[in-house]
Structure 1
Amino acid sequence: MKKVIVAGAGPAGMMAAITAAENGAEVTLLEKMKRPGRKMMITGKGRCNVTNAADVPEIIRQFKGNGAFLHSAFAAFDNQDVMRFFEDQGVPLKVERGNRVFPVSDHALDCVDAMVHRLHELGVTIETEAAVRDVLLEHGHAAGVRTVTDAIYRADAVILALGGASYPGTGSSGDGYEMARKLGHTVTPILPSLVPLETEEAWPKDVQGLSLRNVRVKLLVDGEERQNLFGEMMFTHFGVTGPIILSLSREAAEALYEEHFVELELDLKPALTPEKLDARILRDFEKYQRKEVKNALVDLLPQRLIPIVIDAAYLDPEKPIHQVTAEERGRLRDALKHLVLTVTRTRPIAEAIVTAGGISVKEIDPKTMESKLVPGLYFAGELVDVDAFTGGYNLQAAFSMGVAAGSYSVWND
């Protein structure tokens, strides 16, 4: 019976261990935390967005670079397989807006417990509070691992699924990157992804907690548009967050890392052309012609945002509406369509939902997840330089890579 060690009991590691055991291996799963699946329990705001119900080509399009690396893994174990797995384990699922798939219970713990139950059912040995320090080699082949307490576990194959560098409190503290480097692997720059953004301007603090549902945000890098998304965002004491901001954040993080100038341009009225917005402003000004500017925008904007937009338009908030010139009205229209924030940094990687960067996919066989440098060594999950937007795509990648690594760790000689 082939012996397989899996380091890391996150979604990728647990799925790898399950698959290896289903293929007849004697599997030991080592986890540094007190229980498996800690990070999985907080995904999807504690509801666990296990996958996305879109077709596979659409899922691959959601990966920022390196999505093509996943073609083989998805062909072997796709989103329908993920859904079937959880439902077979007694976790009914539902599909929500954006094709996001959640457990009907809305409890991530149900998904984690189902995976742990399957591990026990297959006889996988789970050792918690067992942090792996090194991969052991014999004649250049992976032959086991050593833990931080110097315990040695021998194996025919080793799967590293130690997670990225985000949410270190769940066990993902970037340990796997250093192990991979020691073995000769290239690790691309580690950056936060799906993370809030900090701004130079202080005014977001004045409107913190304010959520805007139907806005368009452009990401500008050195003045050129890189991304353009429509949806929901929220202001915070440090800057901005929310679904579209998180989706823009990876590109922003890369640009900041490369020391480019990064801005966000907010269109607060994306449904209106400049001409229609001008007509709308004129109607409101007619309605509130006896009021001052600061009191004439209540139909256009949330109350707390009014002074921000007035300031951006360089208008006198006390000016009577009937005295506002066409040129001043044009500045107001432009401020509503082009409200600019300067991005100074992302929030720390510890607050990121996903880690961008990781072990270079050029050094991993995309079908088997085996290292091209070290026979018998496999990788799965966030440790690999593959990441996507929010929507269940990252967990899907973790499960698919886990299945590939778990299968071929047993099948390969």
Structure 2
Amino acid sequence: MKDYQVIVVGGGAAGMMAAGQAAQRGKRVLLLEKKERLGRKIAISGKGRCNITNEEHVSDFIRNYPGNGRFLHGILREFDNVALREFLAHYGVETKVERGGRVFPVSDDAETVVETLLAYLAERGVTILSGITVEEILVEDGRVTGVQGLGQRRFFAPAVIICTGGASYPATGSTGDGFRFARKLGHKVITPRPALVPLKTAEAWVKEVQGLSLRNVEASLWIGGKKKVAEFGEMLFTHFGVSGPIILTLSRQAGEALRKGEPVKLELNLKPALSSEQLDARIQRDFQKYSNKQFKNALDDLLPQSLIPVLIRLSGINPDGVVHQISREERKGLTALLQGLPLTITDTLSLEAAIVTAGGVDVKEINPKTMASKCVKGLYWAGEVVDVDGITGGYNLQAAFAMGFRAGRAAAGEEFSQV
């Protein structure tokens, strides 16, 4: 069996970058992937468009990682968003910036990113074996010696980088293998849980508007009767509740509160650009325009069609009543409803349905300067398997690439000295 100098387990963003960087430094590198094709999660990210990173200045990145952002401080500075875009451009992938600083390939096709990374690995001479499930990390006298796959097949190397991802989207290959390895090797694993995940609601009316996407709205998260945080942007109604970028960003905090048994609610401001006085004046203009129509036919200028019956019902105003007969109190109540549409959050979707996994290998047991294990010599960690997670907007992929970049270089240069 051929020996290698670095073995990378997992062919996602972190794994491909780590393998390429180690090979770039002259090492014989083997990349093992349990699926038949590398980059499965990259290919579906950003709805198939791949939100690679964010254009925000790297000094401001840390605040967008509720899960151990400080751990990434030096890692992100070594391989930041500018470096990542330049890397991709070098291999022919030009990028563009969209709302919220989100960076996408100009092609709007995530596959171009995957193909670019595969070309990079080929150029650097990385050996890729797909369809290989690693069962065990081999260790002797506290030092890594290689890995063992199904059927007792063994691969040997003095440095192993584990980039197996978390436990979200298991169809892409992220089935929690790295957490199992970590526990067996003596690492502490922070309980994996969903980080960016849709939310379930108690209100049945969401089914009536499922598929409705709203832009430029504000969602406020209330926990235990207190407003905690608000997010502005896009959201989506589903058959079970709500999803979309602003909901996903709020979901981590919502999920933590639910696990503690605290009541969680959302308030949706459908017209956040207007003050309550301005919105009331707008409604009055509409009511004057449609003064002789029934109330149910007077909201077409104000709301999406599918949401009108829901808002009418929640307002308590007679849908068949004539608009000019609506009282001031009823109009004020409608204004308040439009800027504080309540939703009771009952649960998150499962970890398997989450975009990102929170939890993972405890960062206290990883050297941030090298991504090396503090428990086993020659062992490195990178990507979502580590207890680091960010909000939506390209932050999680950036973190994965940056951790892979550092781990690959460290494993290639100092595979025996990192403890």
TM-score, length-scaled by structure 1:
0.95
Amino acid at match of 1:357: G
What SS does structure 2 have at the residue aligned with 1:39? Answer: helix
> 1:48 aligns to what?
50
RMSD: 1.7
> 2:275 aligns to what?
273
Establish whether residue 295 from structure 1 lines up as the match of residue 297 from structure 2: yes
In 1, are the aligned partners of 2:4 and 2:30 still within 8 Å (CA)? no
> 2:361 aligns to what?
359
Stretch moving more, 150-159 or 292-301: 292-301
> 1:234 aligns to what?
236
What SS does structure 1 have at the residue aligned with 2:152? Answer: coil
Per-residue deviation at 1:2?
A: 7.0
TM-score, length-scaled by structure 2:
0.94
Distance verdict in 2 for CA 1:222–1:158, change over 3 Å: same
What SS does structure 2 have at the residue aligned with 1:383? Answer: coil
Give CA deviations for 1:235-294 in whole Å, capped at 9, x if unaligned: 111111122112212222222222221111011121222222222223322332222322
Amino acid at match of 2:137: V
Between the two proteins, the alignment pairs up a number of residues equal to 413
CA distance in 1, matches of 2:185, 2:321: 68
Amino acid at match of 1:89: Y
Specify every segment of 5 or more residues in structure 1 that has no aligned partner in the other structure, as ranges.
none
Establish whether residue 304 from structure 1 lines up as the match of residue 310 from structure 2: no
In 1, are the aligned partners of 2:4 and 2:156 still within 8 Å (CA)? no
Q: Percent identity, aligned pairs only?
A: 55
What SS does structure 1 have at the residue aligned with 2:96? Answer: strand
Distance verdict in 2 for CA 1:82–1:236, change over 3 Å: same
> 1:407 aligns to what?
409
What SS does structure 2 have at the residue aligned with 1:358? Answer: strand
Amino acid at match of 1:325: S
> 2:143 aligns to what?
141
What SS does structure 2 have at the residue aligned with 1:232? Answer: strand
Q: How do 1:74-223 and structure 2 match up within 5 A? A: 74-223=76-225
In 1, are the aligned partners of 2:382 and 2:400 still within 8 Å (CA)? yes
Amino acid at match of 2:114: V
CA distance in 1, matches of 2:160, 2:63: 30
Amino acid at match of 1:153: F
Stretch moving more, 301-310 or 66-75: 301-310
> 2:252 aligns to what?
250
In 2, are the aligned partners of 1:191 and 1:254 still within 8 Å (CA)? no
CA distance in 2, matches of 1:288, 1:113: 56
Amino acid at match of 1:125: T
Give CA deviations for 1:208-259 in whole Å, capped at 9, x if unaligned: 1222212111011112122201112121111111221122122222222222
CA distance in 2, matches of 1:79, 1:127: 29
Stretch moving more, 95-104 or 50-59: 95-104
CA distance in 2, matches of 1:295, 1:90: 53
Per-residue deviation at 1:81?
A: 1.5
**Alignment counterpart, residue 59 of structure 2, candidates 53, 57, 60:** 57
Stretch moving more, 175-184 or 271-280: 271-280
Specify every segment of 5 or more residues in structure 2 that has no aligned partner in the other structure, as ranges.
none
What SS does structure 1 have at the residue aligned with 2:190? Answer: coil
